[in-house]
Amino acid sequence: MQAPRPESPLSANCQLLYFTSYSLTADGAVLAAITNGFSGHAEGASLARIDRTSGKMEPLAIFPGPAMQAYPYFARPKSGDPKEDYLFNGTVAKHGLNKSSPCLHPASGNLYFVWGREDGWGQLDCVNVHDGRRRMLVEIPPDRCVGYCHLDAAGEHMLLSLADSRILGFGERRKGNREMSENYATFGLTTQLVEVDVATGKTTLRWEEPAWVTHVQYHPLRRDIVLYNHEWTWPLGLERIWLKPDGKPRVQVRRPGRSIEFRLSVDPGLDDVAHEVWQEDGAAVIYHGVRWDAGEYPEQFVGRAPLEAEAPLQEISIPRDRPSFYGHFFPSRQGDFVITDALANEAGMKQRKGNLISRLNIDWASGRMEVVPLCESNTSWHTQDNHPHPVLSPDQREVLFTSDRSGVRQIYSVPA
């Protein structure tokens, strides 16, 4: 294993953009980051660029207060149980940066993001990480809040998941995300999947989903197929992952009756499946799953769903002599290896959390997996902000991840 290289300064908390977006420009020279370094608030959230040669960090879009209320960085009211405070991300803010929204186009350096204004409206803006020029694209009405955004490969269209804003307003204290999903169904709320032409600002409603949708991702090579989720909908093992081709019915990816190769699941509905992402050649969707009741530590597996709806799923478990816990999984361009933050060494085992950044070399033909630890992450996992969320660089040569191992939340890199 190697020692990871710090990419952001010790002077401020910094983190990567969400893992469905690159954070690094195509030439590897500039890193886009979320930071409190320019906000004047302990829970602040502004956007910055980091020159990887000099290490200098400069602001791109400054917001003085804490991040706005948005999934998964809710800034929710505190729990009634102090032991659950780590589940909640501090001060409730109605305006400021939406931390789940930024998307970078690595080739152009255009960084798109949503922020909330004091009048209750949202706004989609673009700032270029090279020259700092910023422009507004569209406004978002107060009755809708953005879960995640996704940029198509050409950098010409943004896809927004616009949830009903009432999802953020049920009760002074929340028990968890399942409660929110159940409220969504009880009150008949919807999520609008809206596309924005970034050159003109023209918006198009692709469709309206009768569920709580957060993740949205264009197919890597075409815009007519969208990968999306039903957030916290039971059973987790079956209701999570969906595809929607233009003009055709939606497709449930992991569904009853679809055959599974290599791994046997007594009841697929009892698996906890999440963090779906496109294999970058568009041939399949890569996801991961957990069976929590599998013994001393969870059974975790990496899954591959070919784009052909009737083709069998392929699911390969992490070897049981390699302890792993909750984590994230990011595939290579061809899907032949996956980067994860879920594995643990002896120190991680004692804390019951993943503390290694690892490469999983996967042979989808034989159902075999080789585990190669790259470095220790040693993050606290206390909130979404501190989750490593490892991603590959655009050239696939580096892994970038977030960790507060130093006592300050920083971005790190390690060769892949």
pLDDT for the residue 106? 97
What is the pLDDT, as a whole number, of residue 60? 98
pLDDT at 313: 97
- For the entire predicted model, the pTM comes to 0.95
Q: Which amino acid is at 221?
A: L
The pLDDT of residue 170: 65
Q: What is the pLDDT of residue 25?
A: 98
Residue 118: exposure state from Cβ atoms within 10 A (0-12, 13-18, ≥19):
exposed
Strands, sheet with 30-35, edge to edge from the N-terminal-most edge strand = 14-15, 30-35, 46-51, 57-61
Spell out, as residue ranges, where the chain has pLDDT lower than 50: none
Q: Name the burial class of residue 29, with classes exposed (0-12), middle (13-18) and buried (19+) by CB atoms within 10 angstroms of its CB.
A: middle
Distance between CA atoms of 349 and 354, rounded to whole angstroms?
8
How high is the pLDDT of residue 66? 87
| Calpha distance 161→226 (Å, rounded) | 11
For 391: left if phi > 0, alpha if psi spans -120 to 50, otherwise beta; the answer is beta
Given this model, what pLDDT does residue 148 score?
A: 94
| Calpha distance 349→73 (Å, rounded) | 27
